[in-house]
Amino acid sequence: MAGIGEWRHLCVDMQRMFAEDTPWHVPWMVRISPQIEELAGRHPSRTIFTRFVPPQHPDAMPGKWRDYYQKWWMMTGEYLPPELVNLASSLASLVPPARCFDKRTYSPWIDGRLHTLLQSERVDTLVITGGETDVCVLATTLGAIDLAYRVILLKDAVCSSADDTYDASLELLHDRFSVQLELMETDAFLSDLG
């Protein structure tokens, strides 16, 4: 790996509402948690955890997001216990110095706040982990590519709800974005840091 430059670990949506018994439970999260804990634990000040925050009511969201939350009404703030929006317990203790970035959509880039923050810190490389590979991780990765960041996706530190969608997502990202995206294992990335 060539010199990494100014980097941040962008960990996507490792939250209790996906780790615990909810309609959005992602069983794979437990398999990738050790890799994320290792990276974030070694570099908490370089880690930003995104959190997917549902609205209080479906009507608080525009357009098709309103329809989405009418389907998933039980995951709105009106019904979801607020503590389930928090980070998984194994990661929560890293904040601070790690930071949280709340978002209302799959992508953290929509309103420009995250990009502005990263640019103010002269970040040029993003190391992406978290869930799910075919939804929020995909949106985060594609947005980072569009914004011209160097993107390193740690393939053993991202997860999906199903093997098929995980495999298809990584194949798509590797085949279509090979110039702008690097796939690595967490141990290899940490070793390259020295």
Given a contact cutoff of 8 angstroms between Cβ atoms, the answer to whether 111 and 101 are in contact is no
Which class for 32: exposed (0-12), middle (13-18), buried (19 or more C-beta within 10 A)?
buried
Cα distances (Å, whole numbers) of residue 26 to 18, 23, 72, 141: 5, 9, 16, 19
User: pLDDT averaged over consecutive 10-residue blocks of the chain (194 residues)?
Assistant: 84 97 94 97 98 98 98 97 96 98 97 97 98 94 97 96 88 92 96 87
What SS3 state is found at 72? coil
What SS3 state is found at 127? strand
Q: Name the strand (E) or helix (H) holding 190.
A: helix 186-193
Domains defined along the chain, listed by start: 7-54+84-193 (3.40.50.850)
Q: Which two tokens stand for residue 81?
A: 């216990």
Distance CA 131, CA 11 (A): 8
- Count CB neighbours of 152 within 10 A: 20
Q: Which two tokens stand for residue 103?
A: 């978002």
Cis peptide before 96, with omega less than 30 degrees from 0?
yes
pLDDT computed for residue 136 by the predictor: 96
Given a contact cutoff of 8 angstroms between Cβ atoms, the answer to whether 193 and 127 are in contact is no
Task: Provide the whole-model pTM.
Answer: 0.95
pLDDT computed for residue 2 by the predictor: 61
